Amino acid sequence: MKRFSGKAVLLAFLAGLLFAGGFWFGRAGGPFGPSYAEPGGEPPTAGGTAAPASGTVGDGKAAVAPIIPQAGSGSSIIAEMVKKAGPAVVRIETKIPARGAPNAQDFFFGPFPFSVPVPNQPSGSIGSGFFISDDGTILTNNHVIDGASDIKVYMSERKDPLSAKVVGRDPELDLAVLKVEGKGPFPYLALGDSEKMEVGDWVVAIGNPFGLDHTVTVGVLSAKGRPLTVEGKQFKNLLQTDASINPGNSGGPLLNLNGQVIGINTAVSAQGQGIGFAVPSDSVKEVLNDLLTNGKVSRPWVGIGVQDMTQDIANYLGISTTKGAIVTQVFDGSPAAKAGIQPYDVIVQFDGQNVTDAQSLVDLIQKSKVGQVKKVLVMRDGKLTPLDVRIGEKSYN
């Protein structure tokens, strides 16, 4: 066996290190990711995204470089967007007359937490909002201004607050439109297309949590079409996000990276963290014109409470079907009461359409127009009874 001197072994070891080092650091960026300081390294693109590597990895797919801020600018896409969108976001402070119990507005974020309402004493709340036109029109949550006798709007670019009046409100979607008394033009935000947003897209919330002006939080769109019930109020189509939302964010915008409003921040989960909800911009667009021109949204109303049929209920009523919606309550003076609908009636058809459960009945009523007369087929005492009901208008007083 051929023997090598210690000197020869050491030289061979050093030669191996040089070869391996040259191979390793000749690759893009070394073991800790791309290094754009190397000769020939590709700089990040203007949009803040590193240029994709030209080679391939593993299965032959193009290598994708990580997203990093634009080199040398000290900024990013989000920071630039916030600079442009931020001035249009406002802080809203209200005064609420003396009341004997907490106002209905408390079901979402309630008053500013450091100002606890005292029975029979005036109170106030703090929320957020944003301009939607240069004439001073503002969009916010209804619960931010509900019951307010005085509304003040604070802008980041103006020292003194502006007084505002309510133009219209829709408690159903928790929306309110305000108009400030002041000279414009005002910076404003455009309503984007919430339907085009994908789960996992980046979103940005700007608001005034706990009165901390223009706080920016970033997250992703966690889900779409979320149903939520709060204090008996049912929402069917909310956006869910993990962007941090806190008391005072109510009414502020949820933005895409283009600075367009894709949601109005509305609620948070009290049981968890990173679970916030926003009214989709597409839902806002559907009612905005009514709020601006009529001050309200005309919504159909029949005046009944219903629940799903079950086998136990069917057995109790002595009927064979579990389809339909059983009437649990009829409001005095309501269209349903005038039509002769009674508790324990099982509504099986509405306007010629079969009713499978309570939600299907609600959907059919919501598609109706105020003033229309609809035929209703109910099961009563084992017999089918036809009734005519004239659709009323829902009141929020």
Q: Provide the pLDDT for residue 2.
A: 45
Q: Provide the pLDDT for residue 178.
A: 97
- Positions annotated as catalytic residues are 143, 174, 250
- Give me the residue spans of the domains in the chain: 84-180, 195-283, 300-393
Q: Provide the pLDDT for residue 325.
A: 96
Neighbours of 334 (CB within 10 A): 17
Structural tokens at position 234: 């049912």
| Per-residue buried b or exposed e for 367-383, using 16+ beta carbons within 10 Å of the residue's own CB | ebeeeeebebbbbbeee
The DSSP letter of residue 111 is S
Interatomic CA distance for residues 93 and 247, integer angstroms: 13
Q: Provide the pLDDT for residue 269.
A: 76
What superfamily in CATH does domain 195-283 come from?
Trypsin-like serine proteases (2.40.10.10)
Tokens 């020869």, residue located: 8
Q: Provide the pLDDT for residue 49.
A: 38
Architecture of the domain delimited by 84-180: Beta Barrel (2.40)
DSSP string, 231-289: TTEEEEEEEEE-S---TT-TT-EEE-TTS-EEEEEEEE-SSSSS-EEEEEHHHHHHHHH
Q: Give the CA count within 13 Å in the CB-facing half-sphere of 111.
A: 18
Q: Provide the pLDDT for residue 236.
A: 84
Answer yes or no: same fold for 195-283 and 300-393. no
Fold held by 300-393: Pdz3 Domain (2.30.42)
Instruction: Report in angstroms the alpha-carbon separations of 397 from 74, 142, 147, 170, 331.
Output: 52, 13, 11, 12, 15
Q: Give φ, ψ of 213 to 5 degrees.
A: -55, 140
Q: Provide the pLDDT for residue 1.
A: 44
Interatomic CA distance for residues 28 and 35, integer angstroms: 7
Interatomic CA distance for residues 328 and 336, integer angstroms: 12
Q: Provide the pLDDT for residue 75.
A: 59
Q: For every one of its 397 residues, what pLDDT tens digit does the chain have, with 9 covering 90 and above? A: 444 455 554 555 555 544 444 433 333 333 333 333 333 333 333 333 333 333 333 343 433 433 333 434 455 899 999 999 999 999 999 998 865 544 444 444 444 333 333 445 557 788 999 999 999 999 999 999 998 899 999 999 888 999 999 999 999 999 999 999 988 899 999 999 999 999 999 999 999 888 788 899 999 999 999 988 776 677 889 999 999 888 888 999 999 999 999 999 998 876 767 789 999 999 999 999 999 999 999 999 999 999 999 999 999 999 988 999 999 999 999 999 999 999 999 999 999 999 999 999 999 999 999 999 999 999 999 899 999 999 999 887 6
Q: Provide the pLDDT for residue 272.
A: 67
By 3-state DSSP, what share of the chain in percent is helix, strand and coil, each rounded to 5? 20, 35, 45
Cis amide bond preceding 185, omega within 30: yes
- Whether the full predicted model's pTM is greater than 0.85, yes or no, is no
